[in-house]
Copies of this chain bind each other. A is one copy, B any other.
Amino acid sequence: MQMKKFINDPHHLLPELLEGLALAFPRQVRLVGTNIVARAVPKAAGKVRLVTLGGSGHEPGLSGFVGEGMLDYSVTGEIFAAPGAPRCIEAIQMAAKDSPGVLLVVLNHAGDVLSANITMQAAKKNNIPVQMVLTRDGISYGQNSDSANDRRGLVGCMAVYKVAGAVAEQGDSLDECLRIAQKMEENTRSLAVALRTATHPSTGHTIFELGDDEMEIGMGQHGEAGTGRMKMKSADETAGIMLDMLLENLGVAAGENLLVVLNGSGATTLMELWIVFRAVSKILKARNINLVRSAVGEFITTQEQAGFQIMIARMDTELVRLWDAPSNAPYFVTR
């Protein structure tokens, strides 16, 4: 069966999708070096630069968050594949120019971490001031005592980009950017659910299998199996199961303040996300937890997978202010 996607040559997905992004948002982003997305108008000297790296196929993430108030550079890999270290080093060198330092934000996935570690070593050798933060928000189904390093990176990276980006924008030091990024990262948890698989655009194969009446909780960002396969549930029931696990894992108590991001995987309608968000909101209210900020949309997808991620983050006054700070990134404009 022919793959039903609007593409050209499956071997040229990456340069074509990046070119499209840059052409669609010429006032926000441009392409530099080898498949690296940068701000169209780089901030003048003296600002800490935020760099991220990761595979493609998750649009708008990660490159959709390059812009004033968020990322400075996004180093892109092929579909679901980490970019190699040489291109990450290329980006770090560009970023370090006229800058007091670089904060590298990396999602916790083996390939990305490997490239990031080589990049950090190279930076050290070249006396480039770089700090790295690993985003480890994705919890597993039924595992409430997981250690941070067991958790993979899901949509939580977006919250780190946003608050660390805001700190960098106001001219703060690399240490301060790192402190804020780490605070955000430590206080963020996400959990994914899937209803239907997607097709890998390079190979034309479906990414996983799921029964006609099944859903799976705990999926990874690339459709990796979760451990929570079960009969499909209603929106309210699904939100309840997932939120229980998230709140317990993060240790959220009554009276605390939360940011909730509801991130569609690709084919789940916004209608469904709004209905799920309603359930999330009601559950938090019943538990006397304050929903202080929220975002509902598609931020980091898995092709046309049906499903979503719920992200919760413990917020204080400082993080709320930085979350609210202005951004002109193509897919997260805030005023």
Contact surface of A with B, Cβ cutoff 8 Å: 1-2, 4-8, 13, 16-21, 23-25, 56-57, 59-60, 64, 195-196, 201, 212-213, 232, 234-236, 238, 262, 266-278, 281, 291, 294-298, 301, 303-304, 306, 308, 326, 328, 331, 333-335
CB contact between A275 and one of B6, B25, B334 (< 8 Å): that residue: B6
- The residue on B at minimum CB distance from A285 is B23
Set of chain B residues within 8 Å of A295, measured between Cβ atoms = 24
Closest residue to A277 on the B side, CB-wise? B20
- Which residues of chain B come closer than 8 Å to A303, judged between CB atoms? 269, 271
Decide if the interface of chain A is mainly helix, strand, loop or mixed.
mixed
Please tell me which one of the listed residues B6, B270, B335 contacts residue A326 in the complex, with CB atoms under 8 A apart.
B335
Write the chain B residue with the least CB distance to A3: B232
> Do A274 and B17 touch across chains, with their CB atoms under 8 A apart?
yes
Contact A16 B270 (CB under 8 A): no
A296–B6 Cα gap in the complex (Å)?
Answer: 15
Please give, as numbers and ranges, the residues of chain B lying within 8 Å of A8 by CB-CB distance.
234-236, 275
Instruction: Report the 6 A-B pairs with minimum CB-CB distance, sorted nearest first.
Output: A20-B274, A20-B278, A59-B270, A267-B267, A333-B333, A6-B272
Q: Which of B24, B271, B306, B328 contacts A17 (CB 8 A)?
A: B271
Q: Decide: B275 and A13 in contact? CB cutoff 8 A.
A: yes
Residues of B within 8 A of A59 (CB): 269-271, 274
Known: A59-B270, A269-B304, A270-B298. A4 touches B328 (CB 8 A): no
A56: chain B residues at CB < 8 Å are 271
Residues of B within 8 A of A294 (CB): 23-25
The answer to whether B2 touches A212, judged by C-beta atoms less than 8 angstroms apart, is yes
**A1 neighbours in B (Cβ, 8 Å):** 212-213
Whole-angstrom distance between the Cβ of A154 and the nearest chain B Cβ: 17
User: In the assembly, what is the distance between CA of A6 and CA of B272, in Å?
Assistant: 6
Q: Find out whether the CB atom of A201 lies under 8 angstroms from the CB atom of B281.
A: no
Give chain B residues whose Cβ lies under 8 Å from the Cβ of A23.
Answer: 277-278, 281, 291, 294
Chain B nearest CB, measured from A93 CB (Å): 27
Q: Which residues of B contact A273 (CB under 8 A)?
A: 6, 20
Contact B6 A238 (CB under 8 A): yes
Whether the Cβ atoms of B301 and A4 lie closer than 8 Å is no
Chain B residue numbers with a CB within 8 Å of A20 are: 273-278, 281, 296
Complex Cα spacing A24 to B273, Å: 10
**Smallest CB-CB separation from A232: which chain B residue?**
B2
CA A324 – CA B2 in complex, angstroms?
41
Known: A269-B59, A301-B270, A304-B268. A275 touches B195 (CB 8 A): no
| Nearest CB in chain B: distance from A203 CB, A | 15
Residues of B within 8 A of A5 (CB): 195, 268-269, 272
